[in-house]
Homo-oligomer: A and B are copies of this chain.
């Protein structure tokens, strides 16, 4: 497939205007053609109005029709898989094997939501029949179901060019819920976005659906996304990215004349607590697992372990030394964008300059312009608790080892944490008392807690929670991964004393 350098607004290719931009090959730092234009205010307005105009027709479809549409998108992505993976690898520097896995995850997500549409799980119908004899007042017939909230703005994520971008989890869950979607593509992978958007538009046409249910708009900067979230037609937002970006969208959404919810997944430092017996029994295995989880895809996962906490002991020191040794051998890899690379290096410098942080190890430094070296630092619990900056996420393969004097200090570290996507405990039988105390704290802090494992590799299923108290996400009651994600874009509606001829099919009879 040829990349045309186009957005797609309700199925129509649109070139956009200044400022133009193009992708960069992260391996070489060189620009990749073609140029893409940015959406004008009129482009964004058109995309949003078309989404609004298509909403009633789209949400009125039988759930099975929406399921067929999601399936059709998955099939078209699969048909274009080779082009998409090649293009995405060039734009992101991620290996084709990783992207092929991500593509399977993307089509898998679409099919999971399609399957959910075959059950009552999404509409949550609830019916209570009338009781005319009830005293003191008759009970009315009351029936409730969920409907889509309306058009949803979705932001592509740089680190998941497929699974959290144009046809990713936010888009799939919103479309499943009956909500039209306007995607703001991530400027780091515009050609990948165009290819996937064309797959979606082809599915829209093939399924005979109104073209307004899907648009892709581009923008070199932040203005287009801001205008999208501020648009009166937009009723909800799905975002995966930085804390600064997510908070900016939350502020725009809250300042609207009619405020809307924002579902921003803003990352996390994903604390890992290593309890004494686990360190004694499994410190080599733990160190190996840690390094793999920390450095996969150049550490560019929101769930990679940014801080590891242990109690001072010979075993902890051995673990730290082994982790440092293993990290030293980690090959360099290109980061997604020059900006992410610069932010990572700045984060390393902040830690290196911190008076209470010592440098533990550094991985190989590559020769590419965006290549990053993994890094390990050490500090003590008192310093970590005293300085909130040490708990800031540094997106990439950097991690901080925090030494506690005793289990009580471990609890203090846990209490000092902000909201997290995940928290991990490594614990064996004799660690259970400490593990329970920590668990009580971590349940308040995280959306997912892992025992004797690693936080990366987010399973996509009904039991997954990918979210957590602020700043892990903007609303800790939601999940961005798994079928629970659909609930973000649904709202309940009750029908009182309705007759069958006016009731929606899932509530009649």
**Contact residues of A with B, CB < 8 Å?**
55-56, 60, 101, 126-128, 136-137, 139-140, 142-144, 147, 149-150, 235, 250-251, 254, 258-261, 418-419, 427, 432, 435-436, 439-440, 443-444, 446-453, 457, 459, 461-465, 467, 469-471, 474-477, 479, 484, 490-499, 501-502
Please state if A56 and B440 are interface contacts (CB–CB under 8 Å).
yes
Distance in Å from the Cβ of A459 to the closest Cβ of chain B?
A: 6
Please state if A259 and B476 are interface contacts (CB–CB under 8 Å).
no
* Cross-chain contact of A451 among B101, B492, B497 (Cβ < 8 A): B497
Please state if B128 and A502 are interface contacts (CB–CB under 8 Å).
no
* Cross-chain contact of A139 among B250, B419, B450, B459 (Cβ < 8 A): B459
Please state if B463 and A491 are interface contacts (CB–CB under 8 Å).
no
* Cross-chain contact of A447 among B251, B484, B490, B492 (Cβ < 8 A): B492
Please state if A496 and B261 are interface contacts (CB–CB under 8 Å).
no
* A470 in contact with B258 given A447-B494, A476-B149, A477-B490 (CB within 8 Å): yes
Please state if B492 and A477 are interface contacts (CB–CB under 8 Å).
yes
Interface centre among A101, A432, A440, A464 (most CB of B within 10 A): A464
Please state if B477 and A491 are interface contacts (CB–CB under 8 Å).
yes
Having A139-B459, A261-B477, A449-B498, one finds 12 other A-B pairs with CB under 8 Å, namely A142-B459, A235-B469, A254-B259, A258-B471, A432-B501, A446-B493, A449-B493, A449-B496, A450-B496, A451-B495, A465-B493, A479-B492
* A432 in contact with B502 given A60-B440, A446-B493 (CB within 8 Å): yes
* Cross-chain contact of A496 among B418, B432, B451 (Cβ < 8 A): B451
* Cross-chain contact of A498 among B128, B136, B451, B474 (Cβ < 8 A): B451
Contact residues in B for A464 (Cβ distance below 8 Å): 142, 144, 494
Q: Which residue of B lies closest to A441 (CB)?
A: B56
Please state if A496 and B448 are interface contacts (CB–CB under 8 Å).
yes
* Cross-chain contact of A495 among B127, B139, B147, B449 (Cβ < 8 A): B449
* A493 in contact with B451 given A56-B440, A258-B470, A462-B126 (CB within 8 Å): no
Give complex CA distance A345, B495 in Å.
34
Give complex CA distance A8, B465 in Å.
37
Give complex CA distance A260, B474 in Å.
8
Q: Which residue of B lies closest to A448 (CB)?
A: B494
* A142 in contact with B440 given A477-B492, A493-B449, A499-B451 (CB within 8 Å): no
Give complex CA distance A260, B419 in Å.
12
Give complex CA distance A216, B117 in Å.
45
Interface centre among A427, A436, A497 (most CB of B within 10 A): A497
Give complex CA distance A258, B479 in Å.
18
Give complex CA distance A479, B495 in Å.
14
26 A–B contacts from the bound complex (CB under 8 Å): A56-B440, A126-B463, A127-B463, A128-B463, A140-B459, A142-B461, A142-B464, A144-B465, A149-B476, A149-B477, A254-B259, A258-B419, A259-B470, A435-B502, A446-B493, A447-B491, A447-B492, A448-B495, A451-B495, A451-B496, A451-B497, A451-B499, A453-B497, A463-B494, A464-B494, A469-B491
Contact residues in B for A492 (Cβ distance below 8 Å): 447, 465, 467, 477, 479, 484
Give complex CA distance A463, B497 in Å.
12
Give complex CA distance A313, B152 in Å.
41
Contact residues in B for A448 (Cβ distance below 8 Å): 493-496
Distance in Å from the Cβ of A274 to the closest Cβ of chain B?
A: 16
Contact residues in B for A128 (Cβ distance below 8 Å): 459, 461-463
Give complex CA distance A440, B142 in Å.
18
Distance in Å from the Cβ of A34 to the closest Cβ of chain B?
A: 34
Give complex CA distance A251, B250 in Å.
12
Please state if A453 and B140 are interface contacts (CB–CB under 8 Å).
yes
Give complex CA distance A439, B501 in Å.
12
Interface centre among A101, A250, A461, A492 (most CB of B within 10 A): A492
* A449 in contact with B494 given A250-B254, A502-B436 (CB within 8 Å): yes
Interface centre among A128, A139, A475, A494 (most CB of B within 10 A): A494
Please state if B137 and A493 are interface contacts (CB–CB under 8 Å).
no
Please state if B150 and A444 are interface contacts (CB–CB under 8 Å).
yes
Distance in Å from the Cβ of A445 to the closest Cβ of chain B?
A: 10
Contact residues in B for A452 (Cβ distance below 8 Å): 497
